Structure 1
Amino acid sequence: MKIYDTLDEAQRIIGQHWKEGQSPEQEQVLEFARDALFFISSTGQPYLFEDYRKQPQAESPSRASVPTSTAELVRRTEGFFEQLLHGLQPGEERELTLVIIDALRFIASTGQLADFESYLQELDAHEPPRVVASFDTREQAERWLKSHPSPPHCAHILIAGRYHTVAYERATNGRYLPASRALEYYLASLEEGSAPAAGASFETREEADAWLRAQSAPPKRAWVLISGETYLAIYHPHINYRALYPLSMADGYVINTEMEPEGSPRGRSQPS
């Protein structure tokens, strides 16, 4: 099984332990484990995680540099799944439970707990889906992808402001940049949640672009009107990129909360 498929399958194990009426503590650790798996995928690290699992690991990763609450939640989540291991016979369920434990240890031992905490805050604030790079043209993006020693598989990038997914098959060195619907789903989820209320209005797109560029501390997202049409102004702090997207891009997209498509409030699905 390929590592990104393994990460997907591990989510199934978490779902098996999700119960109606479960304690707040159990709900918290299950959500934390779920998000750890998605963090590895959405930041383009499936292959790094695969390599990590093949190496001898330190007994206890250091967590001294991260908030105590985060380190404690890692410890409790590890403990929950380690306890489950005691009752499991060798087989797929045991192996996938180990994947969850290893995902938590991978994030901690590679010094990413602070970034993981930031990722969780982005999800809770319903910020735009994270991107790792931006390019003005497809040619620029393809040159970057071709020269990259280990492309971030499953991560999002922007090409001319539009979402694309980095698809990298390490075994064959296949490298692709399919278009992604993450932004369309994200806009649809915002529209479904509440009616957009514009905070600024402009006659032309050029005026709106100039306003957005002039913001010294731009909001992560803000609704504006351009010639009477609703747009979402987005700021991607990780790459210092600003963009305007018409809400009409969401037309025809329906949010299925059971499937939790990419770009949904908690961003749970794999990029496509």
Structure 2
Amino acid sequence: MTTLSDLANAHPVIGKRWSQGQAPEQERILVLARDALDFIFATGQRYDFEDFFKRPDVRRLPAQGGNTELSERMERTKRFFEKLRDEPESAEEVAQSQAILDAIQYIESTGQQGAFAAYQQHVEAGDLPFVVASFDTREDAEAWLANHPHPPDPASVLIANEFHDVVHDRKTNIRRLPRTRALKWYLEELVEEEQPVPVASFGTREEADAWWRAQPESVRRAWVRVGDELYLAAYYPNIHHRALFPLSLARS
């Protein structure tokens, strides 16, 4: 049975075939495979994924819906990794290729092509680390986690616009929300890649928040200045949440 650990260990079979100047079709195949593996992690579907492959009829389950273009790309990706699985260059590639095939089957058979396509857009845009929920207070987040029948794991959430991991051990029912430095690392990398140039300036945080809430959904990210501080404005369409993150966090 493919486990979450198998998914995490499957990336080398992708990296081995990634190269500068590769054919566009191969790049699309490798990107889809990478994103299929990461999607299950980012959306916290560890237990759902593992339970899915305990079903005796799992290999006979059909794909559920999905748009034609994405379905065709998934089919091409499956054919690519089926060939690698059946004609591997090493023993490790059998399990790695099968893990990718299982990730794609899970997405297709559970009808998550739409969510997967949205996740791919998130990755392609270079957006902030993916989150599954947002809360105003720690108390709200802890109440949500305590009452959730199947908490996502692994996954991340925002609490007062600070990143926290969701940790759930199903055997012991331990549930925790430790803070993570994912935002700091993201901001550090972002400012190395682009010069922060504010598109608007405000005297107060309240004015900046009001302006950001009024922006169209197509605007996913922007730099703004509030007083003397630069902020990254971000929109999370999967949870319909807008946030402002101070750039100073990258230096903390």
| SS, match of residue 166 in structure 1 | strand
Structure 1 residues 127 and 14: CA distance shift in structure 2, 3 A: same
TM-score (norm 2): 0.89
TM-score (norm 1): 0.83
Structure 1 Cα separation of the partners of residues 43 and 157 of structure 2: 11
- The range that moved more, 17-26 or 192-201, is 17-26
Structure 2 portions without partners, runs of 5+? none
Q: Residue type matched to 1:61 in 2?
A: P
Report the counterpart of residue 270 of structure 1 in structure 2.
none
**1:146 is the counterpart of 2:152:** no
Report the counterpart of residue 189 of structure 2 in structure 1.
189
Report the counterpart of residue 59 of structure 1 in structure 2.
60
- The range that moved more, 14-23 or 159-168, is 14-23
Q: In the alignment, is the contact (CA less than 8 A) between 1:43 and 1:152 conserved in 2?
A: yes
Report the counterpart of residue 217 of structure 1 in structure 2.
216
Structure 2 Cα separation of the partners of residues 117 and 209 of structure 1: 28
Q: In the alignment, is the contact (CA less than 8 A) between 2:221 and 2:234 conserved in 1?
A: yes
Q: In the alignment, is the contact (CA less than 8 A) between 2:86 and 2:94 conserved in 1?
A: no
Q: How much identity, in percent, do the aligned residues show?
A: 48
**1:118 is the counterpart of 2:118:** yes
CA RMSD of aligned residues (A): 2.4
Structure 1 portions without partners, runs of 5+? 253-272
Structure 2 Cα separation of the partners of residues 89 and 15 of structure 1: 14
Deviation, structure 1 residue 46? 1.5
- The range that moved more, 54-63 or 159-168, is 54-63
Structure 1 residues 96 and 113: CA distance shift in structure 2, 3 A: same
Deviation, structure 1 residue 11? 1.4
Count of aligned residue pairs for this structure pair: 250
| SS, match of residue 54 in structure 1 | coil
Report the counterpart of residue 256 of structure 1 in structure 2.
none
Q: Residue type matched to 1:57 in 2?
A: V
**1:69 is the counterpart of 2:69:** yes
Structure 2 Cα separation of the partners of residues 111 and 234 of structure 1: 28
- The range that moved more, 102-111 or 23-32, is 23-32
Q: In the alignment, is the contact (CA less than 8 A) between 1:3 and 1:47 conserved in 2?
A: no
Structure 1 residues 52 and 207: CA distance shift in structure 2, 3 A: same
| SS, match of residue 224 in structure 1 | strand
